[in-house]
């Protein structure tokens, strides 16, 4: 694909279905942290949310198997349908929240109080902590995705936007049209979404190579 400037437009790196599966399997669903992290991974890898949109979600944004993204890029709100697996993962995390007594509005939160080092307050040296129920930071999510990717043995440099690209590519391969993908991703211009049409080129090449030979 060539951009309007005449320079080649860099294609986004995506994960295969096998690579995405290997990545999300690194989240231990038997632990509260793993339950939360799995839900965040699926919000990015299956629903196409940006990392900033994931950490900004509130509990009220989850309803009727949809996610309401109020604080998307460019302040554009959108509704993203949840696939059954992601909906189940979010429900599991909501159960963990209730059991832990977390009542804050933010959906994805810290779970336990954690020491963050020393701070000076009023001339005194005191311990600084991150309290349970505070929003998970984008930095944590980026580090978590990178760590899981390395643990899964993926050779690609995996980051949250890789998962968003993966979701868009998956939709196209499943028959979604560009307008639908544009709406799901929250792109204001169809030109932004067109970068994903490389999927069609790859699929066409594979189908052409699979043609039965003529009986010459």
Q: Which residues are catalytic?
A: 50, 73, 161, 164, 187, 196
Contact 146, 117 (CB under 8 A): no
Q: Rounded CA gap, 104 and 131, in Å? A: 12
């Amino acid at each position: 694909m060539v951009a309007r400037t005449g320079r080649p437009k860099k294609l986004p790196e995506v994960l295969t279905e096998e690579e995405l599966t290997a990545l999300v399997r690194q989240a231990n669903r038997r632990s509260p942290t793993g339950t939360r992290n799995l839900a965040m991974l699926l919000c990015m890898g299956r629903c196409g949310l940006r990392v900033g949109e994931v950490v900004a979600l509130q509990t009220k944004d989850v309803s009727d198997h949809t996610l309401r993204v109020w604080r998307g890029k460019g302040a554009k709100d959108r509704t993203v349908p949840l696939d059954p697996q992601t909906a189940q993962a979010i429900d599991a995390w909501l159960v963990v929240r209730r059991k832990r007594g977390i009542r804050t509005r933010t959906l994805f939160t810290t779970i336990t109080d954690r020491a963050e080092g020393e701070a000076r307050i009023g001339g005194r040296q005191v311990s600084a902590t991150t309290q349970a129920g505070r929003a998970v930071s984008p930095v944590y999510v980026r580090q978590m995705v990178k760590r899981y990717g390395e643990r899964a043995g993926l050779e690609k440099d995996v980051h949250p936007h890789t998962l968003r690209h993966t979701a868009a590519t998956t939709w196209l391969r499943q028959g979604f049209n560009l307008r639908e993908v544009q709406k799901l991703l929250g792109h204001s211009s169809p030109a932004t979404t067109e970068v994903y049409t490389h999927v069609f080129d790859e699929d066409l090449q594979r189908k052409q190579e699979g043609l039965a030979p003529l009986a010459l």
